[in-house]
Structure 1
Amino acid sequence: MPGHWLLARMGKRVLRPGGLELTRHVLADAGLADADVVELAPGLGKTAADILAAHPKSYVGVESDPAAVKLTTKVLKRRGTVVQADAANTGLRDDSRDVVVGEAMLTMQSERGKDAIIAEAFRVLRPGGRYAVHELALEPDTLTDEQKTEIRKALARAIKVNARPLTEAEWRERFTAAGFEVERVRFARMALLEPRRVVADEGPFRTLKIVGNVATHSDARRRILGMRKVFRKYRRELTAIEIIARKPADA
């Protein structure tokens, strides 16, 4: 089971590398009010609820996992729709959206997969539209290829997903190569499994529930402790990144 679904099974709802704080910055910077919004891979629907709270004109989620489609549909309560489709082939019309939101999903793609999804976001956005992402990054930009490979392999072994985070410079290059203009970059600590972050993201009562679930499931506890060990080992190299990229008005 991928690490994020294991954490969700233990009761964790916030599964983003920069936590709720960075998600809130991303959504505020995206400009969601009265906008036609599409969210790629909404997962548990946690960010979908936050998007709806910003009063967009419309909301569409694009999710490939049928179980996640059901979860997000339940959260929406008829205030938007979710379609089962691939993020690289959404089926949405050209130039039909003002904002595309994606969190912690580009990191999990190959380089070709990243480029395909970014190109799809560019296609569906209206000129002047914004692509707002919250992803995992590596720092500093001067890391060697050997160092990057070591970190990526360690992450893949721990979370059971072939995660491929990029440096800030590499993320910028991906967006600009697709035609975007990078407007804002912001960073936050990658502290997904640190106690202080868990309490801040989940609240004290849900945190106690998560701790209880982990304590009574030995296999899950072993895996989660292994994930935390990797996150701590590379705490200086792993960071959460926000990027707001705009489709040029003349595109």
Structure 2
Amino acid sequence: MSTSTNTSPDDLPFAERKVEDLPGHWLLARLGKRVLRPGGRVMTEQLLDDASLTDADVVELAPGLGKTAASIMDRKPRDYVGVESDPAAAALTESAIGGRGRVVSGDGAATGIDDASTDAVVAEAMLTMQSDKHKAEIVAEAFRILRPGGRYAIHEMSLNPDTLSNDQKTDIRRALARSIKVNARPLTEDEWRALFTEAGFTIERVRFAPMSLLEPRRVIADEGFGRTLRFVVNVIREPAARKRIVDMRSVFTKYKRNLAAIEIVAVKPQTS
């Protein structure tokens, strides 16, 4: 979720907050981790390929530090608009795109973008953090701004299997929320599909990847050896941060069989 190796911790959203209170993704960013998506860099790149962004008008919801925005630019879209509510994150995304697009202030459910004006909406690791009601509002907004035939491409966290009981899902969500300090509400595959189809979308593609965000092999693959080393050193140097990271990793490990990264590409039908 970042753009440059020179990003200062003081530039990050929530930089003034205590380590104990930081949302998990911003804690990782503060410690130097830049790929913060549940399926890692590989799933992000696959998602962007599947979304067919070349020569497309693209809207990215909650671009964060601009890591995905830079990858979108590599695919040469016709136009790029990032919709970001946090001014610090918006500034970092603007730096990442380097004048090749624009970033506007807005919410995923109220983008301010015209009806049927874009070809692709991209969003990663943001719907999971919303209530069921707000998820539906964001998906409806994506449907509104997409042209017929437009794609909505997401990369989120999923619960497995679909047969989990409501009590099991509640236990996992509570454990995640306590660990990452965000009210995470991942859905099962069936629930993700229903969210989109009820908004009028058809599902074009679904992919899965292991949820191994803090596994050493994944960290090295996502960050490279040098940045991984800096990240590890920063974790070691900050006891409060180290405790948070250990707690997060223990939750991911405990529910390893029930957590996954999911990619969905949904299409707005040519006729509504």
Same-fold call, TM > 0.5? yes
Asked if 1:94 is matched to 2:120, the reply is: no
Letter of the 1:145 counterpart: N
Is the partner of 2:184 in helix, strand or coil?
coil
Aligned to 2:104: 83
Asked if 1:227 is matched to 2:248, the reply is: yes
Asked if 1:35 is matched to 2:56, the reply is: yes
Aligned to 1:47: 68
Structure 2 CA distance, aligned partners of 1:213 and 1:22? Answer: 26
Aligned to 1:15: 36
Structure 2 CA distance, aligned partners of 1:161 and 1:181? Answer: 30
Aligned to 1:171: 192
Query: Per-residue CA shift, 1:95-127, capped at 9, x if unaligned?
Result: 000000000000000000000000000000000
Structure 1 segments (4+ residues) deviating >6 Å: none
Match of 1:71 among 73, 92, 105: 92
The Cα of 1:76 is off from its aligned counterpart by 1.1
Structure 2 CA distance, aligned partners of 1:66 and 1:193? Answer: 28
Is the partner of 1:169 in helix, strand or coil?
helix
Is the partner of 2:209 in helix, strand or coil?
strand
Give the structure-1-normalised TM-score.
1.00
Aligned to 1:239: 260
The Cα of 1:159 is off from its aligned counterpart by 0.1
Aligned to 1:203: 224
The Cα of 1:179 is off from its aligned counterpart by 0.1
Where does structure 1 lack aligned partners over 5 or more consecutive residues?
Answer: none
Structure 1 CA distance, aligned partners of 2:76 and 2:42? Answer: 19
Q: How many residues align?
A: 251
Aligned to 1:25: 46
Structure 1 CA distance, aligned partners of 2:47 and 2:27? Answer: 25
Letter of the 2:58 counterpart: V
Is the partner of 1:83 in helix, strand or coil?
strand
The Cα of 1:84 is off from its aligned counterpart by 1.1
Match of 1:162 among 169, 183, 194: 183
Query: Per-residue CA shift, 1:63-112, capped at 9, x if unaligned?
Result: 11111001101111101100111110000000000000000000000000
Is the partner of 1:17 in helix, strand or coil?
coil
Where does structure 2 lack aligned partners over 5 or more consecutive residues?
Answer: 1-21
Structure 2 CA distance, aligned partners of 1:216 and 1:83? Answer: 37
Letter of the 1:120 counterpart: E
Aligned to 1:56: 77
User: What RMSD over aligned residues (CA atoms) do the two structures have, in Å?
Assistant: 0.4
Asked if 1:218 is matched to 2:239, the reply is: yes
Is the partner of 2:257 in helix, strand or coil?
coil
Query: Per-residue CA shift, 1:48-75, capped at 9, x if unaligned?
Result: 0000000000000001111100110111
Structure 2 CA distance, aligned partners of 1:86 and 1:169? Answer: 26
Give the structure-2-normalised TM-score.
0.92
Letter of the 2:90 counterpart: V
Asked if 1:151 is matched to 2:172, the reply is: yes
Structure 1 CA distance, aligned partners of 2:73 and 2:271? Answer: 29
Asked if 1:121 is matched to 2:142, the reply is: yes
Seq. identity, %: 66
